[in-house]
Structure 1
Amino acid sequence: MKHVNILIADDEAEIADLVGLHLEKEGFHIFKVNDGEEALKIVQSQPIDLAVLDIMMPRLDGHEVTRMIRKQNYLFPIIFLSAKTSDFDRITGLVIGADDYMTKPFNPMELVARVKSQLRRTMLYNQSASKENILEFRGLTIDPDQHKVTKYDTVLSLTPKEFDILLLLANHPNKVFSAEHIFQTVWGDAYYDNQNTVMVHIRTLRKKLGEDKNEFIKTVWGVGYAFHG
């Protein structure tokens, strides 16, 4: 059976050791580093399946590392583990490409559960994606197998969550999805009492699609969003 490789990047050695200890007990293979540059080196040299990143790290912080990981089209799940607790910090992390966000102090067993959940969702997504056909809409091509979106042959750099939102909507043209449904489907988590996360992702997705008049993603005011096929 393939080893599951998990990267832990945290400048607090005690926390990195604690996280590593609990994940190793579950049979995962662990890489531990203490700064952002070392984290990137591991990503580029090892087949990483999931990363647990602190935000406040020397040389490169967690946000910068995540942006570079996504820019280089690595699609493995990223979980932020941070002392920053505000909604703004959480939303920022999710928007730039993280899949989950936990605040310190944390329960190690909850982190283990979230790691397993992200790995399980990735595995199920990859299995289902292989059964999908390529979707094409007026110059826009969505390839679930390669997790790639092109517009008139130009590859668009989408985060995994942006891709998942687009695929969800495009698989059901003209069907209206509420922000709550989108969040629960894409993030697989309980819905927050606001629409900020989904709204910001939709906004950045539209920008990357190069939409001037929301030609693909329509807002149905008071209801949600729909893909215009």
Structure 2
Amino acid sequence: MAEKQINPVLKQVLELGPTVAFFALYMWIKDKSYTVGGTEYSGFIVAAVIFVPILLASIALLWVLSGKISRMQVFTALVVIFFGGLTAWFNDASFFKMKTTIVYGFFALLLGIGLMRGESWLQYVLGEMLPMQHAGWMILTRRLTGMFAALAVANEVIWRTQSDALWVTLETFAFPAALFGFLILQITALSPHIIEDEAAGKPDAPGKTAGRDRDGQA
């Protein structure tokens, strides 16, 4: 299916909407419990299970509207399905909380493998969106690898030591904001490595320069 244009605002809503919906649903039913098939489930478990089809519907709609689905979206969907299923099956919220560690840890591992090979796999994914020298991509990849690893560790510490409400709040708002802010700072710091429009700074051809010297005009 050919890639199609999609309204940027709608795209952001579809990408961020499921997480915000999970937060809103959890805050609404966090103090309630539900009995299904003789088993009692907390509000957290119910919100986590409902989050799975919401996320899948969002990804499917993005695919229909844009004609494209990224590998990261596929990976995220598989992780959410797997850990959402474990959460419901074992009636244990720990599995759902672990998925964030797995996602961030996987990204750190993936980028780290590329670095050990002397490559920036981040450049392969984002190179067309952000023209930058290879040295800049290597620096950004190393820093982003560390950031993903730090987020994975932070998630483990938070969900194991803090309340469900705090974890849900940080998962929904703090982690994405920290990652977004980190990327903005890095792109700003790496601006000397960004490749400008070649035509803007391109020197004149020798013939044209000579012509100006002879005629005194362009």
TM-score normalised to the size of structure 2? 0.27
Greater fraction of residues in strand: 1
More RCO (CA 8 Å, sep 6+):
2
Greater fraction of residues in helix: 2
Highest CA radius of gyration, 1 or 2? 2
TM-score normalised to the size of structure 1? 0.26
